[in-house]
Structure 1
């Protein structure tokens, strides 16, 4: 079978073009690489963890305020003072709680500054991990609570937990230290409240005795005792004296 001459010539003329096309097909295309995270991925993750940690701390802030600061002692003493004066709703609860909050912030400011310098700043700058930051932040709070807690309360909590008390009080687990600290705060608060009640109790007894001696048994003693107690409290500058004495008990 004869091949036409024109077909052979056409094939010979198109061979270079086919070779060039084959060479082009053999050239590899530039690859596409995908990088997960990219530049700054670790910083973004750490910032996310810090935000989550901050939200957790804010959600637990009321419990931390009540359990690990001097708020319990201050609020109980101020509430007992209102009962000692014989006033039911004066000052209002909002005023007493607000005063307790500001006095707590005043007394705890050195501790909070240590927490900020030793834990918060290193974590924000990335120089300390979250686990080490939490441990460093708990250390100033632990030292504060240990200064206020009696050894008897620590021994009680260790006995209730059915564990041997540590040789050093600084090694007390935080789950034993917090309830022991709160028990000590309640004890001290009631001791101060008893000292606050005594002068006002004497005024009540004196007024009641005078009314009975004068035969005015139909007059309620509280009617005369209340203005006398308020007058005495104002004359001795009771609020400043109480706050000075109360904050002086916090070490």
Structure 2
């Protein structure tokens, strides 16, 4: 959690208050190069205004989106309606996201935030380090097909390496790639549960029990098979392993 908070502070300007204990909403200081610097308090106001977008960023640009989609389809395949509840699926997805992102957050914290906090590098350089680490993560799990597609869509200039592509290409390519992979995994998860439903439905029809819903009979068998195979453990481990994390 400490490293995550450090990442949030790293990607936004630091905040503070006036020494007098009062908040000056705006103080503009001219620089020697002709630019202007704003007081840290107006930066605090900007940060607070951007906090609602933090949730969207966590959902879209971390493994959370792929994980929550897969577990949502898994619940439908089991046929357990609203069990596990949404809060449990969100908690599991956050756990998987943290495990996968832990090496990236550690690198940003050690190479970006700590040097900036000690005054070794500037805030601009610290942000560049953070963006560089996140870009490397996005590219590691984004397929080449999506990168080419969005490069053409955005009319991006040709580059020698994908890491030189602008974020306007890399970020949507990552999101689109995550959606495709999530639905592919969900399709594979549906197959064994679908086979159980087919077997149960065929058996009931053979016994002449056509008025009995196959879902009522197949649900205990699917839950039993899922528990016997340690389904949640396998799916969670596979989701983490799909990002190359150990």
TM-score, scaled relative to structure 2: 0.78
Distance 1:208 1:92 in 2: 27
Matched, 1:235 2:237: no
Matched, 1:200 2:204: no
Q: Report deviation, 1:52.
A: 6.5
Distance 1:227 1:142 in 2: 44
Q: Is the 8 A contact 1:75 1:97 kept in 2?
A: yes
Partner of 1:179: 172
Partner of 2:207: 214
- Based on CA coordinates, which of the two structures has the bigger radius of gyration? 1
Is the alpha carbon distance of 1:133 and 1:46 closer, same or farther for their aligned partners in structure 2, counting shifts above 3 Å? Answer: farther
- Indicate the structure with greater helix content: 1
Partner of 1:118: 111
Distance 1:121 1:59 in 2: 26
Q: Matched residue pairs, number? A: 210
1:69-148 alignment, distance < 5 Å: 69-148=62-141
Q: Is the 8 A contact 1:74 1:246 kept in 2?
A: yes
Is the alpha carbon distance of 1:211 and 1:95 closer, same or farther for their aligned partners in structure 2, counting shifts above 3 Å? Answer: same
Matched, 1:157 2:147: no
1:27-46 alignment, distance < 5 Å: none
Distance 2:49 2:110 in 1: 20
Q: Report deviation, 1:47.
A: 6.6
Distance 1:193 1:73 in 2: 10
Partner of 1:27: none
Is the alpha carbon distance of 1:79 and 1:248 closer, same or farther for their aligned partners in structure 2, counting shifts above 3 Å? Answer: same
Any unmatched runs of 5+ in structure 1?
1-36
